[in-house]
Amino acid sequence: MLSTLIPRMHRGPLVRTALVAGLVLPSAAHAGCVWSDLVDEEARVAAVTSSSGRVHFVEDDVLVHGCPNDSAACRERAFVLPGDVVLAGPTQGAYTCAGYAGAKGFATIGWLPSAALTALPQAQQAPQDWAGHWIAPEQDITVTSDAAGLLAVDGEATWGMGDPWRRKNGGVHVGVLSGKVRPANGAIAFSTGANDETLPYEAGDEFDCRVRMVRRGPYLLARDNNNCGGANVTFSGFYVRAK
């Protein structure tokens, strides 16, 4: 399995039971909607198909008691538009835990009405290609491929870059990621050993940087073991290709 919070930003109805069956298993007792619900191999992608234009994200009960529901108190300012593609995770009642990242990599995570989403075909969950420059707010991963299909993965991440005081006083923590690997079973996974050599994911020890990645629609999902940099630095999250 793939598991820094991701910043909250943004920007034909479907029969709900069909969406749940095609997307993920429902979770009646699910508590909360957070990044780790989406950076997971069980996550799928769905298209926003509402005929009413903007579809607003909905708050969670953790922040506003009684949510998610369709009341004004639960409605967030952030929204998606018809045609947007979102990551879709667990469901709760009439809502699906979803995440959307815009062109600059800033992400919104929250509940969306399941009826406004259409699950995309399973074929679109598999990686068409890995190569690209992938970005998130404080994370950057570049994947290149050679003629033999070997992937070179290089990344940089920071924590605290958005804090002017940390930038001024050298308090920004950094991390790096590097490895050469072949995709297997729809994923790439590796560890970086003590001498910076690439090891199989399972061969890394608890102190090595270990990371696993999958593709879902337009997104690259990554999950590390929090040992790929300084304190609080992580590559875990979902990324979009830089334009």
pLDDT tens digits, residue range 163-198? 999 999 999 999 999 999 999 988 999 999 888 899
| CA-based end-to-end distance of the chain | 29
**pTM across the whole model:** 0.84
Sign of CA dihedral 151, 183, 155, 194: negative
Do 234 and 134 lie in a common domain?
A: yes
**Per-residue confidence (pLDDT) for residue 125, from 0 to 100:** 64
Report the alpha-carbon distance of residue 19 to residue 6 in Å, rounded: 25
In a domain, 6, yes or no: no
The answer to whether residue 11 is domain-embedded is no
* 105 φ/ψ angles, rounded to the nearest 5 degrees: 90, -5
Q: What domain range is 71 assigned to?
A: 16-124
Domain boundary among 91, 124, 157: 124
Tell me, yes or no, whether 214 lies in a domain: yes
Q: Does 104 share its domain with 159?
A: no
Provide the pLDDT for residue 2: 56
Tell which of 78, 105, 124 closes a domain.
124
Query: Which residue among 124, 139, 171 closes a domain?
Result: 124
What number of helices (H) and strands (E) belong to the chain?
2, 16
Residues 39 and 106 in one domain: yes
| Residue 142 and residue 172 in one domain | yes
Both 38 and 120 in one domain: the answer is yes
130-158: average pLDDT: 94
Q: Residue 5 domain-assigned?
A: no
**Domain tally, the chain:** 2
Asked, for residue 155, whether it belongs to a domain, the answer is: yes
CB 68 within 8 A of CB 31: no
What's the mean pLDDT when you consider all of the chain?
86
Burial track 154-182 (b if 16+ CB lie within 10 A, e otherwise): ebbbbbbeeeeeeeeeeebbebebbbebe
- Provide the pLDDT for residue 12: 32
Residue 30 has pLDDT above 50, yes or no: no
